[in-house]
């Protein structure tokens, strides 16, 4: 059969030139979506550290779809029985993979390196499954930040808002001055960011737990939730009309240029701000989002390791897991990424003002039980339920005809069918 012979011949010819074989010794193939700029620079520190320790790093970046493309590729790799040694995952994704029983047990290493003492305690339940450690947290981002342009605020004689009512007052004043009060990108996750900050800012930490983490129907149907959606509706007029689909960094640009006064965004926004040579506390300010002072809404990136029988790969996995919690790496990576270490005992001297503030706020929030997982970044709920929140909030926010009551109704029915 001519056709088949051709296929075979070509396959043989090519397998030589494209073989995936790595040099002997410990190695690790790392799948991640940190494909550019500050995040790739941060990960490069880890690669160098591992190479110093004799581990070969094989890079498998998959960008796009806020991580969804990587999830797709990872599933295909697992379906074809060629799982990568390590893959980046958000907190709830760790849990999802762990329940598929594909992640390597890291408990021995965790005991040896005393993870229970050094990792931020709120992360521990999400990186362990059935009493074993199954993933390592690289960083902790904070999603309840409000970034504001200091020059705009100073010239208008305004103080950054500390409650949502103040936020509305400040916004009206900015509107009167011809400045767009809030810079927003109309992508579902950015709208969900606003939502989670409104839930926390208006309802408080306990309400956040009930509504977002437990998806308690009474909390979802409460008047507080109506207020949250009403606040979102109000914010429709505090943003410009061209926001749908805008990337978060273009929204940050609006704050940088002074076209907009504020942005509610995780601390990766610092990368964009420092690239424009703006200084914290001079050109821009960072304060907790309205009504969320004392709380710390976190999201983490973790690496999980897929089970393998290959001894070299196993060695590479353990080396990588250990290196991620290396103090030097935690410091270098998180300065580059704009996040703070997942360890609680890293020196913060070299971090910028906002980084130090985040670290101090986290320590305080841990004591007062106000350190909360982010809904918008797969820390609070699994993918299916997060998806229901995403769909309802995004549709509500961008469709003025939907009422707060309707949105709540959609949330409740959607969450029920997601069981």
Residue list 25-44, contact with other proteins (CB under 8 A): 29, 31-41, 43-44
Residues 354-413 that bind other proteins (CB under 8 A): 382-384, 387, 391, 394-399, 410, 413
CB < 8 Å & 24+ apart, contacts of 401-404:
404/225, 404/226, 404/229, 404/230, 404/233
Q: How far is the CA of 75 from the CAs of 69, 84, 110, 136, 317, in angstroms?
A: 10, 10, 27, 20, 19
User: How far apart, in whole angstroms, are the C-alpha atoms of residue 92 and residue 373?
Assistant: 10
Write the interaction track for other proteins spanning residues 147-186; mark x where CB under 8 A is met and - where it is not. Answer: ---------------------------------------x
Shortest distance (Å) from residue 259 CB to other proteins: 10
Residues 109-148 that bind other proteins (CB under 8 A): none
Shortest distance (Å) from residue 296 CB to other proteins: 18
From first CA to last CA, the distance across the chain in angstroms is 52
Shortest distance (Å) from residue 292 CB to other proteins: 20
Shortest distance (Å) from residue 248 CB to other proteins: 8
User: How far apart, in whole angstroms, are the C-alpha atoms of residue 103 and residue 112?
Assistant: 19
Shortest distance (Å) from residue 382 CB to other proteins: 7
State which of residues 21, 24, 52, 100 lies at the interface with other proteins (CB under 8 A): 100
User: How far apart, in whole angstroms, are the C-alpha atoms of residue 201 and residue 224?
Assistant: 11
Residues 210-269 that bind other proteins (CB under 8 A): 240-249, 253, 256-257, 266, 268
Tell me the number of residues near other proteins by CB under 8 A. 92
Residues 266-325 that bind other proteins (CB under 8 A): 266, 268, 271-272, 275-276
* Residue 185 contacts residue 243 (beta carbons within 8 Å): yes
- Residue 13 has, within 13 A of its CA and on its CB side, a CA count of 6
Residues 39-98 that bind other proteins (CB under 8 A): 39-41, 43-44, 47, 57-69, 71-73, 75-82, 84, 96-97
User: How far apart, in whole angstroms, are the C-alpha atoms of residue 307 and residue 364?
Assistant: 37
Shortest distance (Å) from residue 118 CB to other proteins: 25
155 or 384: CB nearest other proteins: 384
2 or 218: CB nearest other proteins: 2
Residues 2-21 that bind other proteins (CB under 8 A): 2-4, 6-7, 10-11, 14-15, 17-18, 20
User: How far apart, in whole angstroms, are the C-alpha atoms of residue 366 and residue 354?
Assistant: 18
153 or 389: CB nearest other proteins: 389
Shortest distance (Å) from residue 82 CB to other proteins: 5
Instruction: Please state whether 249 falls in left (phi above 0), alpha (psi between -120 and 50) or beta.
Output: alpha
Shortest distance (Å) from residue 419 CB to other proteins: 10
82 or 368: CB nearest other proteins: 82
Picking from 382, 26, 400, the residue whose alpha carbon sits closest to that of residue 212 is 382
Shortest distance (Å) from residue 245 CB to other proteins: 6
User: How far apart, in whole angstroms, are the C-alpha atoms of residue 33 and residue 68?
Assistant: 9
373-402: b (≥16 Cβ within 10 Å) or e: bbbbbbbbbeeebbebbbebbbebbeeeeb
The phi and psi torsions of 347 (rounded to 5 degrees) equal -70, 130
User: How far apart, in whole angstroms, are the C-alpha atoms of residue 342 and residue 338?
Assistant: 13
26 or 67: CB nearest other proteins: 67
């Amino acid at each position: 059969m001519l056709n088949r012979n051709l296929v075979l011949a070509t396959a043989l010819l090519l397998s030589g030139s494209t073989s995936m074989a790595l040099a002997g010794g410990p190695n690790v193939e790392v799948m991640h979506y940190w494909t550019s700029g500050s995040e790739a620079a941060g990960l490069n520190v880890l690669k160098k550290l591992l190479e110093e320790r004799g581990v070969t790093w094989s890079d498998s970046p998959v960008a796009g779809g806020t991580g969804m493309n990587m999830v797709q590729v990872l599933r295909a790799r697992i379906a074809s029985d060629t799982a990568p040694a390590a893959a980046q995952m958000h907190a709830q994704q760790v849990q999802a993979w762990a329940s598929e029983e594909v992640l390597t047990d890291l408990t021995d290493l965790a005991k040896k390196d005393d993870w229970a003492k050094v990792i931020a305690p709120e992360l521990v339940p999400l990186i362990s499954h059935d009493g074993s450690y199954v993933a390592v947290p690289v960083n902790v981002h904070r999603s309840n930040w409000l970034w504001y342009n200091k020059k705009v605020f100073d010239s208008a004689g305004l103080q950054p808002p500390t409650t949502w009512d103040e936020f509305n007052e400040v916004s009206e004043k900015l509107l009167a001055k011809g400045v767009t009060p809030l810079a927003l990108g109309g992508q579902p996750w950015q709208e969900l960011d606003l939502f989670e900050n409104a839930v926390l800012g208006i309802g408080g930490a306990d309400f956040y737990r009930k509504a977002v983490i437990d998806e308690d129907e009474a909390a979802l149907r409460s008047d507080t939730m109506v207020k949250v959606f009403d606040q979102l509706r109000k914010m429709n007029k505090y943003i410009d009309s061209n926001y749908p689909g805008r990337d978060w960094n273009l929204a940050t640009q609006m704050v940088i240029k002074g076209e907009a006064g504020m942005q509610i965004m995780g601390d990766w926004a610092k990368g964009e701000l420092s690239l424009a040579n703006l200084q914290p506390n001079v050109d821009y300010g960072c304060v907790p989002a309205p009504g969320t002072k004392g709380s710390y809404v976190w999201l983490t990136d973790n690496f999980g390791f897929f089970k393998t029988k290959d001894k070299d790969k196993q060695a590479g996995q353990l080396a990588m897991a250990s290196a991620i919690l290396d103090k030097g790496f935690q410091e270098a990576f998180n300065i580059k990424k704009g996040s703070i270490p997942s360890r609680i005992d890293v020196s913060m001297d070299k971090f910028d003002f906002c980084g130090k503030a985040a670290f101090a706020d986290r320590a305080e929030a841990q004591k007062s039980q106000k350190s909360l997982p982010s809904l918008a970044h797969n820390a609070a709920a699994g993918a299916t339920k997060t998806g229901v929140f995403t769909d309802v909030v995004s549709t509500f926010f961008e469709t003025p005809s939907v009422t707060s009551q309707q949105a709540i109704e959609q949330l409740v029915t959607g969450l029920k069918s997601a069981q």
